[in-house]
Structure 1
Amino acid sequence: MNFLAQSFSSRQQIQRAVILEAFGNDQVSRAELARVSGLSKQTMSDVFRDLEEDGWLEVVGRTTGTVGRAAAVYKLAPKRALLFGADVGGTKVHAAITDVHGNVLAEREEPTTQDGGVAFCEQILACCRTLAEEAGEPIERIVAGTVGIPGAFDPVRRKLFMVPNIAGLNDYPIEDDLTKRLGFPVRVENDVNMAAKGEMWRGEGQNIPCFAFIALGTGVGMGIINEGRVLSGSRGAAGEISTLPIGGDPFDARNFHAGSLERSVGSIAIRERYEGAGGVQGLTVRDIFDAIDRGDAIASATLTEVARQLAVGIVAICAVLDPQRIVMGGSIGAREELVDRIRQFIPLCTPTPPECVVSTLGRRAGLLGTISQSRDLLLNILQTGDLAKVGR
């Protein structure tokens, strides 16, 4: 933050600037902020005292190695404002409450309700209350939340669409309902976008301004980070690579529901491809992977063909986005047996292959992404809101 360019007209503006500086740095000192801001040491002392009394700052040490009296060093008090995040799938809700730095205070998993939009929002509210109780913190201390859902959220219509696995959420005004029920601002985002954001925050996308996260399991989806930000598109549907015209006839209306690529590489496609080639009937995808280790040639050929189709999809992505790295995740996408094959195919169809790696966050990527998004929302609240009302 550039204090020299800041024009302060009120005590709260100064307080807000100090909090934002503490939010973006591990620690701050009032003497240093007084120096770079041009404000008097007495003014900064008064501001820091008020923020400390209101619970925003806490002393973590004193400066060393400098001439003169050691100055107190502060950091943002971790529990002054709490965050909520939930990664929602067709079968499970994975949710957590964290402190302002993103450290988990309480975490839980529970089955996803299939009883419609109202029941789903009630479930998220009950989950949030339970987590607050487990963390030993009042729910009023939570100031921002994010829910990642396997679908697209249209920011203009403010409704979800393309939600095939959770009953009653299509066209439901979920973000407005959640914000009203929970009592703090809530953002609804695509789950794979949130996984990409999690990778950018604490995973394989750190310090990489442009990369794509591909999740492959029952279906296939992609989250895009471009210039350090999630790319959502005009309707929130950017990254829906399941609909790429690869692996099937794009004019076949049967592909409108799942998409050509998903029908070619998803878990159902893998089982059908394996059985159709003469493989053992009734095996799960995990069983098919295990069969490769036992020398099953049909299983190996099946996985090789899936990797080939995915490589073509990745090359198409690269033609549009030019990502530095592809991060693979999901129950199937994170398997090294598959990623190794993809790495072999990509250089055969592009002279500039991107790096292809496996997510190190695994199934936690989506949850961490929602927490990171909630931190962004908190930052916006700190920049524009009434500090006295935040977390109270």
Structure 2
Amino acid sequence: MIDLSGLATTRQITLRTVVHVLLDRGAVSRAELARLTGLSKQTMSEVFRDLEGGGWVQIAGKTQGGVGRSAATYELCADRALVFGADVGGTKVQAALADMHGTILAEMIEPTDARGGEQVIAQLARMSANLAGRAGVPKERIFMGSIGIPGAYDERSKRLFMVPNIAGLEGSPLAERLESATGFAVHVGNDVNMAAKGEQWMGEGRDVDNFVFIALGTGVGMGIINERQILRGARGAAGEISTLPVGADAFDGRTFHAGALETSIGSVAIRGRYEGWGGVAGLTVRQIVDRVAEGDRIAAATLDAVARTLAEAILAVSAVVDPERVVLGGSIGARPELLERVQHFLPLCMPSPPQCTISQLGSRAGLYGTVANSLDWLRKSLFQTPGYDIPMPEAKPLEAMP
């Protein structure tokens, strides 16, 4: 991350320790830093010479010591190292640039390049540079990036698979190619996993060690936070609950590719069920759900069936990962009419159901998740010393986002 090869190993470790104290504590005096780290005054002076020379710290103000005495306080230059995050969908890309404290400096939304493949990679590289320009900082200050994408990313092979919505990315080494195009480190993950990360950082998972985020819309997907870590699985496909044998026959060829659960409660299934039961033809799922409040009994019965099947899926998930909370999102999952019904059915199929709630982040959960993921990796990488592993805390949640 930062070239400290000319410094002794102990100095590298010391620098890294001081940086992370400054990240956690904010503005502090040298004396307080020495107390927190156990470093001598002479060592602290040497550390600050290195940090100030590299543009990493600045004077924040003064603090009162004893009577008539004051000391300068120091803080990190938050924009000295920036992180990039992008939530890539089949139709649009949401991207943002943030400083070391997680404050969003610039963000933008563009339609996903329909040509896919290398053109999407070039689009992401261009967006990162444009965001740096909008924030008024050199693009070379971007040290870390994270990409959320509708597919699975195999950490062993470093390749994407199960990417039906974006042409030309199946089997692609996306992280490697994007790193070459941008010059900064890149991490890739499933978009629903990133949304779960966003919920952990800024949403309904902030105070929960174990929860799942279920996105229900055109399809159905799930991100799992287990002991405060994203659970990815052997091939990055953990949470692909569309294939759960719930709601339909897993051995039916018609469910083989989309998955039994998705063919039962995805948007196509909802419209088909509603029309098959005699509902008005040609309505969108949103319109169908809206008609529940208008007294449409077929719409209500359709939503009842979806909620009952979703409750069964949550029962299956709970048997495996035991979440304390289930956060629902997506165009269908975020509807309170569905939540009310799921909360009704859960106690009827399990004795101790998890708490269910709706995401308050909406479509921004995935974007926040990519930023939070980049911040975590930045903390792990800053002043990293080969052979030494100092535990790094996770990015702290912010009270408000600009």
Structure-2 residue corresponding to 1:14: 14
CA distance in structure 1 between the aligned counterparts of 2:359 and 2:120, rounded to whole angstroms:
29
Task: Check whether the contact 2:12–2:385 (CA below 8 A) recurs between aligned residues.
Answer: no
CA distance in structure 2 between the aligned counterparts of 1:137 and 1:385, rounded to whole angstroms:
27
Structure-2 residue corresponding to 1:326: 326
Structure-1 residue corresponding to 2:102: 102
SS at match of 1:331: helix
Structure-2 residue corresponding to 1:295: 295
CA distance in structure 2 between the aligned counterparts of 1:318 and 1:118, rounded to whole angstroms:
39
2:101 maps to amino acid? H
C-alpha spacing 1:67/1:242, structure 2 compared with 1 (3 Å): farther
CA distance in structure 1 between the aligned counterparts of 2:38 and 2:90, rounded to whole angstroms:
54
Residues 317-356 of structure 1 aligned to structure 2 (within 5 Å) = 317-356=317-356
Q: CA-to-partner distance for each residue in 1:328-386, whole Å, 9 max, x for gaps?
A: 11111011110111011001111111000111111111000000110111112214169
Deviation for aligned residue 1:76 = 2.0
Residues 127-206 of structure 1 aligned to structure 2 (within 5 Å) = 127-206=127-206
Q: CA-to-partner distance for each residue in 1:154-201, whole Å, 9 max, x for gaps?
A: 111211111111111111111110111111100110000000001111
CA distance in structure 1 between the aligned counterparts of 2:166 and 2:32, rounded to whole angstroms:
52
Residues 27-106 of structure 1 aligned to structure 2 (within 5 Å) = 27-64=27-64, 69-106=69-106
Structure-2 residue corresponding to 1:260: 260
Q: CA-to-partner distance for each residue in 1:305-347, whole Å, 9 max, x for gaps?
A: 1000000000111111111100111111011110111011001
Deviation for aligned residue 1:290 = 1.5
SS at match of 1:224: strand
C-alpha spacing 1:68/1:257, structure 2 compared with 1 (3 Å): farther
Deviates more, 1:40-49 or 1:340-349: 40-49
CA distance in structure 2 between the aligned counterparts of 1:262 and 1:26, rounded to whole angstroms:
46
CA distance in structure 1 between the aligned counterparts of 2:19 and 2:133, rounded to whole angstroms:
27
Task: Check whether the contact 2:13–2:385 (CA below 8 A) recurs between aligned residues.
Answer: no
Deviation for aligned residue 1:67 = 6.4
Task: Check whether the contact 2:150–2:190 (CA below 8 A) recurs between aligned residues.
Answer: yes
CA distance in structure 2 between the aligned counterparts of 1:355 and 1:259, rounded to whole angstroms:
26
SS at match of 1:370: helix
Q: CA-to-partner distance for each residue in 1:45-95, whole Å, 9 max, x for gaps?
A: 332243134221222233347567333322221100011000011111000
Task: Check whether the contact 1:106–1:134 (CA below 8 A) recurs between aligned residues.
Answer: yes
2:356 maps to amino acid? C
Q: CA-to-partner distance for each residue in 1:97-140, whole Å, 9 max, x for gaps?
A: 11111111111111112323211111111111221211111111
C-alpha spacing 1:385/1:89, structure 2 compared with 1 (3 Å): farther
Q: CA-to-partner distance for each residue in 1:203-240, whole Å, 9 max, x for gaps?
A: 11012110000011100000000111000001000000
Deviation for aligned residue 1:248 = 0.5
CA distance in structure 1 between the aligned counterparts of 2:38 and 2:98, rounded to whole angstroms:
35
2:221 maps to amino acid? G
Structure 1, unmatched stretches of 5+, are 1-7, 387-392
Task: Check whether the contact 2:244–2:313 (CA below 8 A) recurs between aligned residues.
Answer: yes
2:355 maps to amino acid? E
C-alpha spacing 1:68/1:225, structure 2 compared with 1 (3 Å): farther
Structure-2 residue corresponding to 1:208: 208
Task: Check whether the contact 1:21–1:28 (CA below 8 A) recurs between aligned residues.
Answer: no
Deviation for aligned residue 1:11 = 3.2
C-alpha spacing 1:215/1:169, structure 2 compared with 1 (3 Å): same
Task: Check whether the contact 2:18–2:37 (CA below 8 A) recurs between aligned residues.
Answer: no
Q: CA-to-partner distance for each residue in 1:139-164, whole Å, 9 max, x for gaps?
A: 11100000000000011121111111
Structure-1 residue corresponding to 2:379: 379
C-alpha spacing 1:356/1:39, structure 2 compared with 1 (3 Å): same
The TM-score, its normalising length taken from structure 1, stands at: 0.93
SS at match of 1:126: helix
What RMSD in Å do the two structures reach over aligned CA positions?
1.7
Q: CA-to-partner distance for each residue in 1:276-323, whole Å, 9 max, x for gaps?
A: 000000000111111112111101110111000000000111111111
1:289 maps to amino acid? V
% of aligned pairs identical? Answer: 58
Structure-2 residue corresponding to 1:278: 278
1:15 maps to amino acid? L
The TM-score, its normalising length taken from structure 2, stands at: 0.91
SS at match of 2:119: helix
Deviates more, 1:317-326 or 1:34-43: 34-43
SS at match of 2:332: coil
Structure 2, unmatched stretches of 5+, are 1-7, 387-402
SS at match of 2:221: strand
2:315 maps to amino acid? V
Structure-2 residue corresponding to 1:120: 120
Task: Check whether the contact 2:92–2:110 (CA below 8 A) recurs between aligned residues.
Answer: yes
Deviates more, 1:340-349 or 1:99-108: 99-108
CA distance in structure 2 between the aligned counterparts of 1:383 and 1:166, rounded to whole angstroms:
36
Structure-2 residue corresponding to 1:5: none
Deviates more, 1:163-172 or 1:224-233: 163-172
SS at match of 1:344: helix
CA distance in structure 1 between the aligned counterparts of 2:348 and 2:65, rounded to whole angstroms:
57
Structure-2 residue corresponding to 1:3: none
Deviates more, 1:110-119 or 1:282-291: 110-119
SS at match of 1:326: strand
Deviates more, 1:207-216 or 1:130-139: 130-139
Task: Check whether the contact 1:114–1:168 (CA below 8 A) recurs between aligned residues.
Answer: no
SS at match of 2:356: strand
2:130 maps to amino acid? T
